[in-house]
Amino acid sequence: MRKIVKKYTNGEITVVWQPDLCVHATTCFTELPKVFVPYERPWIKLDKGVTEEIIKTVCNCPTDALTYFWNKDMKEEQKTENTEEKSTEIKILKNGPFLVKGDFKITNYDGTEITTRNSASLCRCGLTKNKPFCDGSHVKGNFKIDE
C-alpha cells in the first residue's frame, strides 16, 4: 500500500504532511488554528501564518506527521530542534499513544527489526490495525484510556 505524502509551501519553507503517522494529537491546530484548519481543504494554509510560528508548531508535532524543510536548501532534509542529542524520550498522551522520539530500535516478537525513523507512536488502547503503532483508532472509537 502506497503511503500518502502531501507538501505545502509558502515560498520559504515546505511543510510535509504524512497522514499515516498522524495520531490526531491536535497539537498543530491547537497551537496555530489560523494555519492548520482540519475541517477545510486544503487543511494547511501556510499563507495565513509567519514562517517562524509555522516552524515552531511543526517542530512540536509529537509524531513527525508534520515536518518541514527550507526551500533554499533544495533538499528534503528534516529540520529538528536538537539534532545533536541522542537521548530517547517517551511521552504518554492523554487518551492517546506512547510517543517515542530519539535513538532507538523496535524489534518484533520474531526478532525482526521494525523500521522507524527517529520517532514512533505506539498504541496503548489495542484497537490499532497497524500494531504496534497507533493508527488513531482510539479517536475513531471514542476510546478513553486515561479516564
Q: For the chain, which domains are there?
A: 6-73 (3.30.70.20), 89-140 (3.40.5)
Nearest to 19 by CA among 45, 44, 46: 44
For residues 106 and 86, which has the higher predicted lDDT (pLDDT)? Answer: 106
In this prediction, residue 64 has a pLDDT band, given cuts at 50, 70 and 90, of confident
Quote the cell numbers at residue 68: 518541514
Residue 146 has pLDDT above 70, yes or no: no
Q: What percent of the chain has pLDDT over 90?
A: 31
Q: What is the value of pTM for the model shown? A: 0.61
Please report the beta strands in the chain, taking only residues with DSSP state E, as ranges in sequence order: 6-9, 13-17, 66-70, 89-92, 98-101, 106-107, 113-114, 119-122
Query: Is residue 81 very low, low, confident or very high in pLDDT (cuts 50, 70, 90)?
Result: very low
* Mean pLDDT for the stretch of residues 101-130: 82
Separation of alpha carbons 93 and 62, rounded Å: 9
C-alpha cell read off for 17 = 504532511
Which is higher by pLDDT, 141 or 9?
9
From the list 4, 26, 39, the residue with the least C-alpha distance to 94 is 26
